[in-house]
Amino acid sequence: MDKLLDAICRLVSNQHPNQIRALANKARTLSSTDAGRLAGFFNSQAANHVLSEVVEEWRQAACSGAEFAGLLVGASHGHMSEKARENIELVWSGPDTHHVPVRRSEQVYIELIESAAESLFIGSYVWVNIPKIETAIRDAIERGVDVRMLLESSDKDGGTFFRDTVKRVAKELVGATIYVWPLENRDSGAGGFPSMHAKCVVADGERAFLTSANLTSAAMDKNIETGVLAYGGIVPGMLSRQLLNMITQGDIQAYSQAAYAPPAADSGPKVIDIKELDQNRQYSGSLLIGYRNEKLEVDETRTFRVLAEDDELPPKGALVIILGDKPLVGRYLWQKQQSMNGERTYYSVTMRGQGSHNAIEVEEINWPMFRPFAVDVS
């Protein structure tokens, strides 16, 4: 029966539902021993070749004509339903033959970034400044989108390309997090040292772009590059979960952990659960904090730097921890507000991106004293 189902799936994947329904109506009046009477039903030789495989498997399964017809109609309906949920589109950079409708890689990158409402994960072997894409990322961060990037961190020949990229992100894209595949997590066998070579972007776990193109101007405009854009279906969600699971399992890590983690004891730095932070205790230096990102449903561990009294307030969009009745973690935004009658001036502080939006009101008189407890050091 499994072989019959496989053959039917191959048949319905290339035929209009009306054609399959007509075939089923004819088959319903036959028995499996009369299956040969379906030969040549389609106009296409290729379709009839697949039909001959279906007919042979029907003979072997020996189910009734009514059962066989039901399998045909059900498989066709399932295929069309899945096709309606999932849309796959070719993306191409390079010479345009004008025979296939395609869109450029940069256009698709920007479209996905601009469509993101909750989360955005980008993977690229290298990343050279592309102004339009970085502007779109900056706008996404300002909308409260959780932006993460997985890049190759091993510069060849002692170069500084990756470190220069991190510096640019820290300055230009405050709130984005760069992840790396730590060298100690890579299996360097006889085949050479492995690299982070995936090029992809996934928005909200619902739209994904899988491509050969790195984030460079040459890849966007000059190279021959190809990829696919997937809307709906199971691929975007699977890609999103794979990337997030690598964070939870420690396969990839926020770059800040490698750069700013406190000195390791024999057992490594202690991870402090955010729920254990006590506003009555005195903390200093760097702390490895673990917390649950409720929005993405993933456990996170990041290195935070405790802010001293004379430190400047973190920039808008930075990931911070605020201690109150309970510790809050999120992207830090604030705006000066005034009541309708003008009698009250206060600051509205919002923590976004890690769970439900948390809003805090701080009276103007208290604003100079208001401070986040710690800031993410990525």
Residues 6+ apart with CB under 8 A from 29: 65
pTM over 0.75: no
Please report the pLDDT score of residue 256 as a whole number: 63
CB 347 within 8 A of CB 330: no
- β-pair type (146-151, 119-124): parallel
Where residue 177 falls (left for φ over 0; alpha for ψ -120 to 50; beta otherwise) is: beta
Q: Which two tokens stand for residue 305?
A: 């730097």
For 323-352, write each residue's pLDDT tens digit: 867 788 888 888 888 888 878 888 888 877
Residues 6+ apart with CB under 8 A from 209: 91, 108, 109, 112, 200, 201, 202, 227, 228, 229, 230
Residues 6+ apart with CB under 8 A from 115: 203, 204, 207
Task: Name the amino acid, one letter, at 217.
Answer: S
If one counts every other C-beta atom within 10 angstroms of the C-beta of residue 119, the result is 22
d(CA 48, CA 52): 6
Please report the pLDDT score of residue 160 as a whole number: 79
Provide the pLDDT confidence category of residue 269 given band limits of 50, 70 and 90: low
Out of 7-11, 41-45, 185-189, 287-291, which region has the weakest mean confidence (pLDDT)? 185-189
Please report the pLDDT score of residue 268 as a whole number: 52
Q: Phi and psi (nearest 5°) for 356?
A: -65, 150
Please report the pLDDT score of residue 191 as a whole number: 61
Does residue 22 surpass a pLDDT of 90?
yes
CB 69 within 8 A of CB 54: no
For 111-133, write each residue's pLDDT tens digit: 999 999 989 999 999 888 889 99
Burial of 24 (0-12, 13-18, 19+ CB in 10 A): buried
Does residue 254 surpass a pLDDT of 90?
no
Burial of 46 (0-12, 13-18, 19+ CB in 10 A): exposed
For 186-236, write each residue's pLDDT tens digit: 886 656 678 889 999 999 999 999 999 999 888 887 888 999 999 888 889
Q: Which two tokens stand for residue 370?
A: 């208001």
Q: Which of 76, 55, 69 is nearest to 23 (CA)?
A: 69
Q: Which two tokens stand for residue 319?
A: 């990931």
Please report the pLDDT score of residue 157 as a whole number: 58
